[in-house]
A and B are shown apart, each in its own frame.
Chain A
Amino acid sequence: MDIAQNVILTIMTAATPLLIAAIGELVVERSGVLNLGVEGMMVIGAVCGFAAAMITGSPWMGVVGGIVAGALLSLLFGFLTLSLATNQVATGLSLTLLGIGVSGLIGESFVGKAGIRLPSLNIPGLTEIPLVGKLLFGQDPIFYLSILLTAGTTWFLFRTRAGLTLRSIGDNHKSAHALGIPVIGYRYLAVMFGGGCAGLAGAHLSLVYTPQWVENMTAGRGWIALALVVFGSWRPWRVLAGAYLFGAVTIGQLHAQALGFGIPSQLLSSLPYLATIVVLVLISRDRRLTIINTPASLGQPFVPDR
């Protein structure tokens, strides 16, 4: 039975970065902004998290470094799309391209170095409980943070005044502006939250999942996170379910590769990407459902009149 626990544990670890990045992007999109730069912010978070941990010697400083780096990069996106009203799709893409470029440069001296792993929780007596001990009390701290983030985001979006305001901006920025709500200000905060989350997700990759720096180590996870937001129809708990589903696919194909089965490893490696496409098709097939859930002013630039 310990095998089952370990498999579930690896699934959760694989899902955590997807979940965190997707929750961040969910908040951004709920405010009506489409940031396609998740992959770029994530890879910057991964390299800066790794670098900060190596330089200070503390993985916790790595976590902070990842969050700060992701948020700073998102500010660049915010400035262009919010203050200069540029096309959000193109700007997000350029953020990804820039992030991949800059991360390669920053990480050059860290390639091949053994990293520092963020220690997992260990509570004597509780972590040793058979079957569930490690799942409940023995995971890495970022995992617990990801659950808190999901719950906190749900509470914020649907139970607070500010969350309601944020959603109203995402659905109709013109009306929100007419009501005197600082649309651009809210959006800046949302974009930075998304950037911080993407950075944290990246730091999880380079400090927990595989504690090392490999160029382009996000391998499309930022894009999968974007797909998860659509899959979860902009609701945090559904995004969590989607993230664990993808974690399971990822780990499943890794186990299948280890066992062989005579299936080409490349085919198995492409499963998470193919699964993303299949899931997107299934979820967006119902046109009416998508229209109801999508924030109505998603991706549209907004310039406040005076």
Chain B
Amino acid sequence: MRPGTWKFRREGEEGVIRIELVKRPQHSAFFSAMSPFIAFGLTLVFGAILFAAIGKPPLAALYSYFIEPLSEMWSVHELIIKATPLIMIAVGLSVCYRSNNWNIGAEGQFIFGGIAGSLIPILVPGFQNAATLPLMMIMGMIGGAAYGAIPALLKTRFNTNEILTSLMLVYVAQLFLDWLARGALRDPNGAGFPGSIRLSSAAQLPEIAPSQGGAHLGIVFAVIAAVVVWFMLRSTLKGFEVRLIGSSPRAGRFAGFSAPGMVFFAFLVSGALAGLAGISEVSGAIGQLRETISPGYGFTAIIVAFLGRLNPLGIIAAGLVLALTYLGGEAAQISLGVSDKVARVFQGMLLFFVLGCDTLIHYRIRVAGRAIASAMEKS
């Protein structure tokens, strides 16, 4: 019995029903646009079931997850703060994944961006002028890109699987940051608590609307990054190279594009953007270097990238949705006592449904039923 096949018996006649995928001659524009929405809808339905299963009123829980955080201005700002790193990282990842480079170590590149970017204000706190912030941002991007270059180098030079190396480097980065925050960069007047000195105001990203909430300039960087990468992918030769090498490495070779060059390009771009996200988070949201600076943004950004269909503009919307699950998790915990762990379940479910729905873009589902007897006669 093949999977996806069921026997049935009707009016004494035996037969089989088979559900199978039939490749579409052309990809479906309808499902291409709709699949993220279908996936989100399915996540809501299964989320409601999940809430019911753990004994919470489903509708109230969904309300506090997805509506409550949007009802007040300050929490919209919180939403933007959370969405900023997600969008920035995911935009970089879209370049990687489109060119078939599986960078899953953005979390590590984020951390290194945060470290490199905050070196100047921590080690030279007196350096406070108009150049401080730009320098920090550039240092952050260099830090992230350099850390992203390691798996790229190992992949091109030694043929090493980039998935595993980039992920292993996340653990190394986390431990390195922990060591810095407790050792070399610890605030000597911090009463022994881990964490660096607080950044001076000259080293903190300004807030975009201080009277309303805490959202900082990082969101502007994120949107600019998304638009630039969107344009690059859509209308430039480099973008064509990314898409061609991603869909057919062979065709890319014939076109004269360098595959190793693309590996470096993808990892440097995504590393730099993850690094920028890291230093924006440290400088704009946290205000000091701590022993942890990310609640898993680098991994959640993978979900954002796929939910945005690897399109930088779609990623802006997807980043806001995923940021909502972080905030909704906190809101539901306060108002209904729902565990904040549910947020991560939501995020995981969402990615599953997105991937499942993407199948509909390239395949049609066909239900084929036939009687066994007549099939036997034919053959």
Instruction: Give residues in A with beta carbon < 8 Å to B.
Output: 36, 76, 80, 82-87, 89-91, 93-95, 97-102, 104-105, 108, 182, 184-185, 188, 219-220, 223, 226-227, 230, 264, 266-267, 269-270, 273-274, 276-277, 280-281, 284-285, 287, 290, 303-304, 306
Q: Is the CB of A281 within 8 A of B160?
A: yes
Q: Is the interface of B mostly helix, strand, loop or mixed?
A: helix
What residues of chain B lie closer than 8 Å to A276, measured between beta carbons? Answer: 164, 168
Q: Is the CB of A281 within 8 A of B20?
A: no
- Name A184's closest neighbour in chain B (CB-CB): B3
- Name A97's closest neighbour in chain B (CB-CB): B348
Given A284-B158, A287-B159: A83 and B172 interface contact (C-beta under 8 Å):
no
Q: Is the CB of B161 within 8 A of A280?
A: yes
Given A105-B339, A108-B341: A285 and B158 interface contact (C-beta under 8 Å):
yes
**Which of B72-80, B130-138, B175-183 participates in binding chain A?**
B175-183
What residues of chain B lie closer than 8 Å to A94, measured between beta carbons? Answer: 303, 348, 351-352, 355
- Name A224's closest neighbour in chain B (CB-CB): B168
Q: CA–CA, A36 to B2, complex, Å? A: 25
What residues of chain B lie closer than 8 Å to A267, measured between beta carbons? Answer: 175, 179
Q: Is the CB of A98 within 8 A of B351?
A: yes
Contact of B154 among A76, A101, A220, A281 (CB under 8 A): A281
Q: Is the CB of B306 within 8 A of A90?
A: yes
Contact of B164 among A101, A184, A227, A306 (CB under 8 A): A227
What residues of chain A lie closer than 8 Å to B160, measured between beta carbons? Answer: 277, 280-281, 284-285
Q: Does B221 contact A (CB under 8 A)?
A: no
Q: Does B215 contact A (CB under 8 A)?
A: no
CB distance from A253 to the nearest CB of B (A): 11
Q: Is the CB of A91 within 8 A of B355?
A: yes
Given A93-B302, A101-B348, output 20 extra A-B contacts at Cβ < 8 Å.
Answer: A83-B21, A84-B21, A84-B356, A86-B355, A87-B355, A94-B303, A97-B299, A97-B351, A102-B348, A105-B341, A105-B345, A184-B3, A220-B167, A220-B168, A223-B167, A227-B164, A264-B179, A273-B168, A274-B172, A281-B154
What residues of chain A lie closer than 8 Å to B351, measured between beta carbons? Answer: 90, 93-94, 97-98
A-B contact pairs, 19 of them (CB 8 A): A86-B359, A90-B351, A93-B104, A94-B303, A97-B344, A101-B341, A105-B339, A108-B341, A182-B2, A220-B168, A220-B171, A223-B168, A226-B164, A269-B175, A270-B172, A273-B168, A284-B158, A284-B159, A287-B159
Q: Is the CB of B352 within 8 A of A76?
A: yes
Q: Is the CB of B164 within 8 A of A223?
A: yes
What residues of chain A lie closer than 8 Å to B159, measured between beta carbons? Answer: 284-285, 287, 290
- Name B1's closest neighbour in chain A (CB-CB): A185
- Name A91's closest neighbour in chain B (CB-CB): B355
Given A104-B341, A274-B172, A281-B158: A90 and B355 interface contact (C-beta under 8 Å):
yes
Rank and list the top 3 A-B pairs by shortest CB-CB distance, nearest first.
A98-B348, A101-B344, A94-B351
Contact of B172 among A104, A273, A287 (CB under 8 A): A273
Residues of B in contact, count (CB < 8 Å):
50
Instruction: Give residues in B with beta carbon < 8 Å to A.
Output: 1-4, 20-21, 23, 54, 97, 102, 104, 154, 158-161, 163-165, 167-169, 171-172, 175-176, 178-179, 183, 299, 302-303, 306, 339, 341-349, 351-352, 355-356, 358-359, 363
What residues of chain B lie closer than 8 Å to A84, measured between beta carbons? Answer: 21, 355-356, 359, 363
What residues of chain B lie closer than 8 Å to A227, measured between beta carbons? Answer: 164, 168
- Name B184's closest neighbour in chain A (CB-CB): A264
Q: CA–CA, A76 to B176, complex, Å? A: 35
- Name B100's closest neighbour in chain A (CB-CB): A89
- Name A86's closest neighbour in chain B (CB-CB): B355
Q: CA–CA, A269 to B178, complex, Å? A: 11
What residues of chain A lie closer than 8 Å to B97, measured between beta carbons? Answer: 90
Contact of B349 among A82, A83, A98 (CB under 8 A): A98
CB distance from B89 to the nearest CB of A (A): 14
- Name B19's closest neighbour in chain A (CB-CB): A83
Contact of B347 among A85, A97, A230, A287 (CB under 8 A): A97
Q: Is the CB of A284 within 8 A of B161?
A: yes
Contact of B183 among A95, A184, A264, A281 (CB under 8 A): A264
